[in-house]
Structure formats: C-alpha cells, structure tokens
A = this chain, B = another copy of it.
C-alpha cells in the first residue's frame, strides 16, 4: 500500500502521527510519503498544490490528510486552493461521513437515542463548483453571484452509491435532504434521480426531508436517519451538526472517495486545524484514527477497518470522558488495542 500523507496545519500533524501509529499496527508494510502542503509552504513559496505534487499524489493508493487552515493565511485560500482543489482534481464525488453515537459518549442532547447514520455528501459540484463572480465591485451597485451546478451525471453517481450503502445496512433506509420547495431546478433533478435509482433498490425505503427540517430532526430525533444523501453544501452543514450530536467533531471521520478508483481517495477528520490548541497535545486523534478505518475499508481491508473501529468504540466506552488523555496517550491506547486485537469486532 502506497499512502500519501498531508499532515497540514494546526493540529493536523499531531493527529496524523497518532493515526499513523494505528495504521502501522494493521499495515506495517505501508509505504508512506509525506507532503508538506499547507500554510507553511504557501508562506515560503506561494504554492498551494503544484501540478507536480498533484501528479505524485495520483500515484498513491490513498491519501491521509490532517487539517488545512491557518489564521495567518486569508480565509479561503487554503480551503479552495488546496483542500477543495484536491477533492475536485481527484474527482472525490462521494464525501462519506458516518455519524455514530458510540456507547459511553455524551453528546449535547438530553436524549439522543441510538444514532448510527452515514451521510453521502456530493463532493464535486453544487454550490462548491466555484462558479460565480462579482460585478461592479465596491460600488453601491455591486452584485455577487454563486451558482450551484448540478449534473445528472454527478447526482446519479452519488445517489447510486448511497443506495448501494443503504442496501448493505440493516435498516435499508435512505433520506434525500434538499430544499426542493425553493431550489426548484436542482431539487427537481435530485428528486427525479432518487426516484429513478430507487427502482433498482425496491427493498430500500426512501424518505425526503427539507434541509431546514433535517436540522430539527437531527436534534430532536436523530435516530430516524440511516443513510442520508445530499448535495455538497447541505452535506457540509448537516454533517457538522450530525458530528456535534454524536459527540463532537473530535470524533468525526470522513472519506473523500472516487468510487471509480481512477484516483486515490482521501481520508480526513471532519474537524479543522484548530490553531488555538495546536502543539499542546490537546487534540483528540480519534477522528483521524477513524479516518484510517474508513481508508482501510475503502481499500478492501475490511477486517483491519473493523478492528480499528472496534478499538475506538472500546476506548470511547471506557475512557474518562472529561479527560480522555493527551493526543499521544490516546493514540498509544488505540494502537495498543488494535495491536492486541483483543477487542471483539462486530459484524
């Protein structure tokens, strides 16, 4: 396995090094190459993602990314020039974001119930397409536009993926989240494609929720969701909320997948670079470790993936929630659990 690692900014390097400890336990022969993309490189060379680096990244089986973003860089530069550029160039159309409330974890809800959902967020179009502009800038007649671009091709491939995932889950339930009553055109395309693809999956039950209502359900009745499929922006919003509900972004993992496997998929914690706590051993590496589980799963190493997730689940059930330990201590614990292989894996 050839793995490219982009530790990135802030707490990125800290959590990535714990994630690599755990990876070492399940894939000791993995070849790892580090790429120093992020704020420091931009400051010293002005580069965000040189073509040559992009070319090298393409030669790997997968990418592990820590976090991107730094207060010394104007907002949006690293996000669009590095993170989103990677997702778009590598055609990461399925942005996979599981949200599970693990036993022992206390989220902000008084009574969350049994939360175990995955969000399949479209990753390469929608309002993230970068289509838009400014007219008459800095005058009283200025106009700014942002165009959400949705293609049958782009929508169908994520909807198909979401149905495939729903099919493999016990509840076989899929919810389309959109805002069809207002976003008439995009809403129509998404609705029609969900209907079409559902014909190939008669055993998957299908529901629809407006995005505003979905945020209500996520805090009043999150266990109703099994698989959610949604566009890039709605997915961004509801996965942060789903992460909060299931114990915080410190635990939320994600995969940016090219389902066709033409390009390496990229795995990253949902959290950002958290510059305020960087370098102090305060960051929880659990989300990064769970991202390694998604990575192993995507590459076909299902048993290793399950072992990592089960170790995390065990640690979460037994750790002191108020003070789970320093970044390294948590990483050591998780690596030891994975290595000892004593944790029973379910399923």
Contact = CB atoms under 8 A, between A and B. Distances in A.
Contact of A144 (B189, B216, B239): B189
A80 B182 contact: yes
Interface string A217-244: 0011000000000000100111111011
Contacts of A185: 132-134, 144-146
B147 A152 contact: no
Contact of A141 (B152, B186, B213): B152
Copies of this chain present: 2
A50 B315 CA distance: 63
Interface of A: 75-76, 79-80, 84, 106, 108-111, 127-128, 130, 132-134, 136, 138-153, 179-189, 192, 211-213, 215-216, 219-220, 233, 236-241, 243-245, 248-249
B182 A142 contact: no
Contact of A80 (B80, B184, B215, B233): B184
A140 B84 CA distance: 26
Given A127-B127, A138-B192, 10 more contacts: A76-B182, A76-B184, A128-B182, A143-B150, A145-B148, A182-B233, A182-B236, A216-B248, A219-B245, A220-B248
A7 B219 CA distance: 29
The listed residue with most B CB atoms (<10 A of its CB), out of A216, A243, A245, is A216
B75 A181 contact: yes
A75 to B, nearest CB: 5
Contacts of A140: 152-153
B152 A142 contact: yes
17 contacts: A76-B180, A76-B181, A127-B183, A130-B184, A132-B184, A138-B192, A141-B153, A144-B150, A144-B151, A147-B148, A179-B236, A182-B233, A212-B236, A212-B240, A216-B249, A219-B241, A237-B237
A189 B211 CA distance: 25
A231 to B, nearest CB: 10
A186 B142 contact: no
